[in-house]
Amino acid sequence: MNLESALSLLEILAMLLMMAVNASVLRGRGDNKTAAFTEMQVDIKYIKEKIEGVEDVRDMATGASESAKSAHKRLDEHLRYDHHRDTPSHED
């Protein structure tokens, strides 16, 4: 084997090694992206669960507000009538 053939063989081996290294680096990056996307999906699911919890609290607060308004309305109507006619007033 002459020197030119040996150098050509070394160049071919170097290119094959370079392609193998590049392929493994790209595959590693793909794994990192997959892990990042998986983490993002888990985070999004967690955020959705928290938002649903806030919506439940909002619905409960809305119901409590409506109940309080109804109670105030009933109290106002009750106080409009003079239910204490038998008790003396301050003027008596």
44-73 pLDDT, tens digit each: 998 888 888 777 888 888 888 889 898 888
What's this model's pTM, rounded to 2 decimal places? 0.38
Any idea which residue has 């983490």 for tokens? 39
Percent with pLDDT over 90 in the chain = 4
Q: Residue 41: what pLDDT?
A: 92
Give the distance between the most distant pair of CA atoms in the chain: 132
Contacts of 29 (CB under 8 A, 6+ apart): none
31: alpha, beta or left? (left if phi > 0; alpha if psi -120 to 50): alpha
Q: Residue 43: what pLDDT?
A: 92
Contacts of 9 (CB under 8 A, 6+ apart): 1
5-41 pLDDT, tens digit each: 888 888 889 988 988 888 887 777 666 777 788 889 9
Instruction: Report the C-alpha gap between 43 and 72 in whole angstroms.
Output: 43
Instruction: Report the C-alpha gap between 36 and 28 in whole angstroms.
Output: 12
